[in-house]
Amino acid sequence: MRKHITGFSNPTVKYLRSLRDKKHRRRAGQLLVEGLRLLEDARSSGRVPQMLVMAEGREHDLLTRLEADVMAAGGEVIATTPDILSKITGKDNAQSVAGVFDEWDTSLAVLDRETAPIWLVAQALRDPGNLGTMLRTCDAVGAGGLILIDDCADPFSAEAVRASMGALFTVGLAQARWDEFLPWLRAGDGQLVAASLRDAVPYRGADYRAPCFILVGNESQGLPEDYEAACDLRVTMPMKGRADSLNAAVAGAVLAYEVLAAIDARR
């Protein structure tokens, strides 16, 4: 059964709006996801929203199935006006549907390094667009997931979720400090490879080994020197123009495809 909301001052509307703010989102342990495509990606990967908010009068086969799954899981379905939905999402041209999900466990313990030959690791990545792009890269190359090290952008922010194009729901995600990550990595198989300029070899033809953990650093500062020193391999990509470096997410993608080709060639 649908619940109808017609007033901007409704407590549920206020709560949903609050999820746009990192502080409130973390306190609630929930995130707001807008758009049928993202919600369908979540549903197909086994994640169903706790609450579904729809603009009245909008119909779609996927939306009908999503609504049925939410109800079957004991979730709440709310119908409201397009104006109120815009108020909730903060967008003038809000899409016809949004969903509220519980945030999930992002500890290193949830990862199984044996499930994939490639993993991406980002240290102090601050741009949510870059974070989302790296999640998309993980999905594209069949990586096990993205590991966020130290103080990174919030992967559950609206900007990162949109930039991931649904990959937030399809690949693994973990968050840890460096002094947690390195012992976890060394406790099992895993080659740590950094995109670097310090004592680096050309990225083409380097000796990559699975499972390979590709480490990129902060957009402006790069990786701390001691982090690079802890890597098994440091590689560099040629810069033939005036720029001295690639965007962090782009560098991760270029390197991921090179590692993928090298590992596939050994199979």
Query: What residues contact residue 59 under an 8 Å CB cut-off, 6+ apart?
Result: none
Q: For 222, which DSSP code?
A: B
Ranges for all domains in the chain classified under CATH 3.30.1330.30: 2-102
Say what the pLDDT of residue 61 is.
83
The neighbour count for residue 265, using CB atoms within 10 Å, is 8
DSSP 169: G
Burial class (CB in 10 A: 0-12, 13-18, 19+), 20: middle
**Model pLDDT, residue 90:** 81
pLDDT of residue 177: 98
**At the fourth CATH level, which superfamily is domain 108-266?**
SPOUT methyltransferase, trefoil knot domain (3.40.1280.10)
Q: Where in the chain is the domain with CATH 3.40.1280.10?
A: 108-266
Q: Which CATH superfamily is domain 2-102 in?
A: Ribosomal protein L30/S12 (3.30.1330.30)
pLDDT of 237: 82
* C-alpha angle 32-36-38 in degrees, rounded to nearest 5: 60
Q: What is the pLDDT along the chain (267 residues), one digit of tens a residue?
A: 688 998 889 999 999 999 988 899 999 999 999 988 999 999 999 999 999 998 887 777 888 899 999 999 999 999 999 899 888 888 776 678 999 999 999 999 999 999 999 999 999 999 999 999 999 999 999 999 999 999 999 999 989 999 999 999 999 999 999 999 999 999 999 999 998 878 889 999 899 999 999 999 998 888 999 999 999 999 988 777 776 667 899 999 999 999 999 998 877
Question: What residues pair up with 234 in beta bridges, in sequence order?
Answer: 194
For position 195, what pLDDT does the model report? 87
How much is the pTM? 0.91
Find how far residue 181's CA is from the centre of its chain: 18
Q: Return the beta strands (E) in the chain as ranges.
A: 2-5, 30-34, 51-55, 76-80, 97-102, 118-123, 145-149, 172-176, 191-195, 201-202, 212-216, 233-236
